[in-house]
Amino acid sequence: MAVVHTKPIPNPSPLTSLRALRAILRDRSVLAGMQVFHAETGDVFRLSLPGFNPVVLVGAEATHFILTKARHDLRWRIDDDPITKLLIHGVLVEDGDSHDQIRRSLNPALHRNMLSKYEDAMLRRTDQIIDAWTDTQPVDMLVEMRKAALLILMDALFHVDYTPEMERLWHSVLNLIGFISPGLWLVWKNAPRPGYRQARALMDEYLLRIIRLHREHLDDPDDMISFLIKAGMSDELIRDQLMTMLIAGHDTSTAMLAWSLYLLGAHPEAQARAREEIDQELNGAAPNAVNTLQLRYLQQIIDETLRLYPPIHLGSRVAAVDLEFDGFAIPKETRVLYSIFLTHRHPDYWERPNDFDPDHFSPENKHKREHYMFLPFGGGPRNCIGMAFAQVETRIVLARILQRFRLEQRGHAVHLHMGATLEPRPGVWIQPYSRLSKGNTYG
């Protein structure tokens, strides 16, 4: 019988761990430490925290392995994790047939051919937020973009106006996001979670109320809730999907938009070039799903933002069976993390990987979008179901902002905060200056 020799998964040495700690303190981000581990240990390594020892996989081959090859041998649902407690039977935490069935019911509302129906809501809600901006008051784009993303998601997918709830539910939304963010619970399962119960109850009550209203007026064929009702789901199962959409669908876009605006503020020349392109290609017309496809340079900025600051910077799984990757044995029940962040900054794929350079996505570098080197929306059959929605939303929101405003950076340096998504903290302070005074009019 052939004996298969497997290599042990490397643990970073004490010296590497010390260097990682220094990088964490310098950059105020755990991800800086992960970069040190990756540089010194390679594409497969283990993290060693008390009670939390995941294997981290990096790079195109590893992510392809996780997302397609070994997909059926990995579980998404981890019963003890806060995300499962929050989403219960949401598509994101289900496995096997149950996942596939729910995903099929969600697909129609997020299909590409629905996007033209959502573009009005995306524009209208962006204008609702940016109409309040003045030339004399800087704004925190992390907050502004959260408001825009919430309004857009609720309007486009659920056909409800979230404006009256924004203030009432603001802290509940933030609490739920905090609940699923990495924290003390990783090493102390029963760590206290102040405010969660109440936040959850308020959100449940709100979501169940809009589901009931939809049941009473089931006359809207294009609405996600109506699709789910027609699929025969119970109110509770629909609530789990709406909670999933609400969290996965707005916190990601918030981070993505805030980071884009941060980079546009930090790179005035890139901002000016993107604005010129918008003026030239749209010629004052309102941005929509189709005309924003002409904005090639803006798309390069968006992709470069997603490369440097992928809102979902890692995926988490558990090995359902003993696995082997590249000669490394990964025993059953091991927690496996695939790192989008480290893959996006892999020195084998990207020149000057930590620098902002939209030319990383120039036409001659097109192939980098493929082959799992660039995977901000994951990959394989369980890639992001909201990808098309998010792509159009991002183009419309950013094109509209640049069409109407010139942005000047204010305030402090930001650091990468690992919340439920990767966020620019403490916020992105920008002074917007209206361009209307220069005689522009917009559609």
Single residue of 32, 258, 385, 430 touching ligand HEM by CB under 6 A: 385
In this complex, which beta carbon is closest to ligand HEM, that of residue 20 or of residue 373? 373
Shorter beta-carbon distance to ligand HEM: residue 133 or 377? 377
- Minimum separation from the CB atom of position 22 to ligand HEM (A): 29
Binders in 92-151 for ligand HEM, by CB under 6 A: 92, 103
**Would you count residue 344 as binding ligand HEM (CB under 6 A)?**
no
- Residues 74-94 as b/e (b if ≥16 CB within 10 A, e otherwise) read bbbbeeebbbbebbebbbbbb
Of the candidates 312, 317, 370, which has an alpha carbon nearest to the alpha carbon of residue 60?
A: 370
Q: Which is nearer to ligand HEM, 36 or 160 (CB)?
A: 160
Q: Please, which residues bridge with residue 272 across strands?
A: none
Tell me whether residue 238 or residue 245 sits nearer to ligand HEM (CB atom): 245
Q: Smallest distance from the beta carbon of 269 to ligand HEM, in angstroms?
A: 25
Tell me whether residue 20 or residue 145 sits nearer to ligand HEM (CB atom): 145
Closer by beta carbon to ligand HEM, 41 or else 339: 339
C-beta separation of 44 from 62 below 8 A: yes
Stretch touching ligand HEM by CB under 6 A, among 35-43, 231-239, 326-334, 385-393: 385-393
Question: Any contact of residue 377 with ligand HEM (CB under 6 A)?
Answer: yes
* CB-based closest residue to ligand HEM: 386
The residue within the footprint of ligand HEM, chosen from 59, 178, 287, 315 (CB under 6 A), is: 315
Class of residue 439 by CB neighbours under 10 A (exposed 0-12, middle 13-18, buried 19+): exposed
Candidates 82, 386, 427, 432: give the one binding ligand HEM (CB under 6 A).
386
Does 54 interact with ligand HEM (rule: CB under 6 A)?
A: no
Complex with ligand HEM: residue 325 or 377, whichever CB lies closer: 377
Site for ligand HEM in 388-417 (CB under 6 A): 389-390
How big is the chain, counted in residues?
443
Q: Which of 287, 378, 424, 432 binds ligand HEM (CB under 6 A)?
A: 378
Q: Does 376 bind ligand HEM (CB under 6 A)?
A: yes
Which of the ranges 4-12, 344-352, 371-379, 429-437 carries the binding residues for ligand HEM, by CB under 6 A? 371-379
Size of the site for ligand HEM (CB under 6 A): 22
With contacts defined by CB under 6 A, name the span among 34-42, 214-222, 319-327, 383-391 that binds ligand HEM: 383-391
Q: Cβ closer to ligand HEM: 40 or 61?
A: 61
Q: Could you tell me the smallest distance in angstroms from the CB atom of residue 296 to ligand HEM?
A: 19
Distance CA 235, CA 166 (A): 23
Q: What is the closest distance, in whole angstroms, from the C-beta atom of residue 285 to ligand HEM in the complex?
A: 24
Nearer to ligand HEM (CB atom), residue 175 or residue 252: 252
Closest CB to ligand HEM among residues 36, 420: 420
**CB within 8 A of 190, min separation 6: which ones?**
none
Binding to ligand HEM by residue 75, rule CB under 6 A?
Answer: no
| Structure tokens, 411 | 């305030």
Question: Using CB under 6 A, which residues numbered 234 to 293 contact ligand HEM?
Answer: 244-245, 248-249, 252-253, 256
Cβ 129 to ligand HEM, closest distance in Å? Answer: 17
Residue 24 neighbours by CB distance under 10 Å: 17
- Residues near ligand HEM (CB under 6 A) are 91-92, 103, 244-245, 248-249, 252-253, 256, 311-312, 315, 376-378, 382, 384-386, 389-390
